[in-house]
Amino acid sequence: MKAIVQDRYGSADVLELAEIQAPVPADDEVLVRVHAAGLDPGVWHRMTGLPYLMRAAGYGLRKPATRVRGTDVAGTVEAIGCHVTTFAPGEPVFGICQGSFAEYVCVRQDKLARKPFNLTPAQAAAVPSSALTALHALRDKGHIHPGQHVLIIGAAGGVGTFAVQLAKAHDAIVTAVCSTTKMELVRSLGADEVIDYLDEDFATGHRDYQLILDTAGNRPLAQLRRVLTPHGTLVIIAGQTGGPLLGGIGRQLHARLLSPFVTHKLHVLAPGHHTHTHSRDHSHNHSHDLDVIRDLIETGKLTPVIDRTYPLHHTAQAIHHAQQTHARGKIVITM
């Protein structure tokens, strides 16, 4: 089968389109014929091996532990392992895995769900990691509830576009932060107020938010806490600053250390945390949350936003585009 592989860390130039052997599903896995694969920030981190701390976390010290990139997948069930009971060959599915930039990939059955009937494979591939991250941040960390005043920073990105819609689905009052050219998009997703960060600094205002979701990763904690209510919650998702050793982990560690000593609830959530499939931990069944997301999509409360699509052999160009611009929603690789 054809796949995008890498044998060393580096820029997108290390990626190669190669012919490799198709995987064989384990007892609890589903072999999926890939129709489309989403491009999330975790792909870039695994490709470059940055920050260096992630290499020690199991991704490979000198070279990537897994050769094939890609974590979001939409496709058709090709075969199933002997312990798989929830899927059958021929079913359209979507989910999270390792190695979706390929014609076939094996996915654990607890990280897979049936594809929403009203989405194309490309649309479905844009959903899993970003929508799951937004859901876990708002529901599990933020304990979102109706009437809550929520600030979403980076509202036009992959996680942000889902977060705005999920917050509105929970009847929250949403203020979204994005750049000038993306304000209309964010308004169309349901945001009650949109702040252009190029024109206004939300952190200098006097507004009090009960929940802040930061997907942009470049604001000091002190600035974010300044616009929180006394017992408000901050959930930090992205961490794009801080250097090659720690990246944004330094700010996340600061939040963890500070949280017990302040009235604010400070939480961190690594982007793509649910895609750490080198672990065989089955403590969290992502299929259930994917079903929740699918129901919201099928009832019209959640719609993926796609910036653009690229064919498999142009994956390097897709990553270059993602690095050089701030995409609206997600970039998708198609087979």
At 27-39, the pLDDT tens digits run 999 999 999 999 9
Considering the segment(s) 130-268 as one domain, its CATH architecture is 3-Layer(aba) Sandwich (3.40)
Closest CA to 259 of 270, 267, 248: 267
128-132, 140-144, 170-174, 318-322 — which is least confidently predicted? 318-322
**DSSP-derived secondary structure letter, 237:** -
pLDDT of 270 higher than 80: no
Q: Which tokens belong to 150?
A: 């929520």
pLDDT the model gives residue 53: 62
Q: Between these two residues, 59 and 7, which has the higher pLDDT value?
A: 7
| Percent of all residues in the chain with a pLDDT value above 90, rounded to a whole number | 67
- Given a cut of 80, is residue 144 above it in pLDDT? yes
Same fold, 2-127+275-334 and 130-268: no
Widest pairwise Cα distance in the chain? 58
Ranges 40-44, 198-202, 259-263, 276-280: which has the least confidence: 276-280
Looking at CATH, the fold of the domain delimited by 2-127+275-334 is given as: Quinone Oxidoreductase; Chain A, domain 1 (3.90.180)
pLDDT band of 202, cuts 50, 70, 90: confident
Other C-beta atoms within 10 Å of 235: how many? 23
Cα angle 139, 143, 144 (rounded to 5 degrees) comes to: 80
Percent of the chain at pLDDT > 70 equals 86
pTM (global) more than 0.85: yes
Question: Two tokens at 46?
Answer: 């695994």
pLDDT (tens digit per residue) in 110-121: 999 999 999 999
- Whether pLDDT at 281 is above 50: no
Does residue 250 surpass a pLDDT of 80?
Answer: no
Beta-carbon contacts of residue 167 (< 8 Å; ≥ 6 apart): 138, 144, 150, 152, 174
pLDDT digits (tens, 9 = 90+) for 209-241: 999 999 987 788 889 999 999 999 999 986 555
Q: What residue has token string 């591939």?
A: 125
Give the domain ranges of the chain: 2-127+275-334, 130-268
C-alpha 231 chain-centroid distance: 27
Q: What is the pLDDT of residue 269?
A: 84
